[in-house]
Amino acid sequence: MINCKNCGTDMSSKFCPNCGQPAVLKRIDAHYVAHEIEHVLHFERGILYTIRELVTAPGLNVRNYISENRSRLVKPIIFVIVTSLLYSIISHFFHTEERYMQSIDTHSIEKKLIFTTKIFQWLQNHYGYANIIMGFFIALWTKVFFKKYDYNLFEILILLCFVMGMTMLIYALFAILEGVTHISLIVHATVLSFVYYSWAIGQFFDKSKMINYFKAFMVLILGFTTYSIVILGIGLTLDIFAK
């Protein structure tokens, strides 16, 4: 008889009767790592499956996730963090963002706005968390524009995590194309992302009402603008007090 290392329950078998923890953990080796990667990326109920469902019918699938079945899709916060990380890796590999920043005199800005620059640099280096923060502001506007629908703020945030994860994949795809062709495609990626966002959100609430797609577009613009103003305001306030 031994005690479970997870919950302390007495164990007389290979697994804890209370929490299911194995009595003896398998050693982490190449097989373990390969299995974990396969577990995340496998097509059935994995990243690839989630992407397919969000490409074909995002509104319907997210509605089903919220109200009916939460085992078919990858967890939304994990999804947006993983896809944001993927975009970061691709953009750094092809140096796409560096080319955008070359046209801006960042050195003089960094000297004048130290805290503001550091905040925006942190957000740029942590797209997953930045998307979640921005999602909060977009969710607030979504709640206002779609108030007649019975969804709370946290359910809307779940919706936005899925949608933002897909927009990160759109940017990642265009970053690869830009890296290969050396043609600036940021405008094309942004337009396609806005179109996808408006389509997914409009479909989620009611795909038969065309006004919902326009409202979704306005929510995105207002949410991003509010997010930028708040972040900039915090940075400027810290820079003013630092002086």
Per residue in 40-90, pLDDT (tens digit) is: 665 445 788 899 999 999 999 999 999 988 888 888 988 998 899 999 999
The amino acid at residue 191 is V
Cα three-residue angle 158-167-123, rounded to 5 degrees = 80
pTM for the model stands at 0.79
Query: 3-state class of 152 per DSSP?
Result: coil
Token pair for 135: 């999602």
Q: In Å, what is the CA distance from 223 to each residue of 53, 122, 218?
A: 25, 20, 8
User: What is the overall mean pLDDT for the chain?
Assistant: 87
- Nearest alpha carbon to residue 164 among 199, 193, 124: 193
Q: How many residues does the chain have?
A: 243
Token pair for 181: 């062709």
Q: What is the DSSP letter of 25?
A: P
Q: In Å, what is the CA distance from 192 to each residue of 128, 168, 212?
A: 20, 11, 18
Q: How much is the pLDDT for 198?
A: 96
Residue 111 has pLDDT above 80, yes or no: no
Q: In Å, what is the CA distance from 15 to each residue of 3, 75, 76, 94, 176?
A: 11, 26, 30, 47, 46
Residue 177 has pLDDT above 80, yes or no: yes
Residue 100 has pLDDT above 70, yes or no: no
- Strand ranges in the chain using DSSP code E only, listed in sequence order: 2-3, 10-11
Residue 113's pLDDT band, with cuts at 50, 70 and 90, is: confident
Q: How much is the pLDDT for 71?
A: 83
Token pair for 203: 């479909």
7 phi/psi in degrees, rounded to 5: -125, -5
Alpha carbon 206 to chain centroid, angstroms: 23
The amino acid at residue 202 is G
Q: How much is the pLDDT for 140?
A: 96
- The pLDDT tens digits for 131-140 are 889 999 999 9
Task: For residue 87, count CB atoms less than 10 angstroms from its CB and return exposed for 0-12, middle for 13-18, buried for 19 or more.
Answer: buried
* Torsion angle in degrees (nearest 10) through CA of 14, 18, 19, 23: -20
Are 25 and 53 a contacting pair, CB within 8 Å?
no
> Who's near 52: CB < 8 A, 6+ residues apart?
43
The more confident residue out of 77 and 95 is 77
Residue 98 has pLDDT above 70, yes or no: no
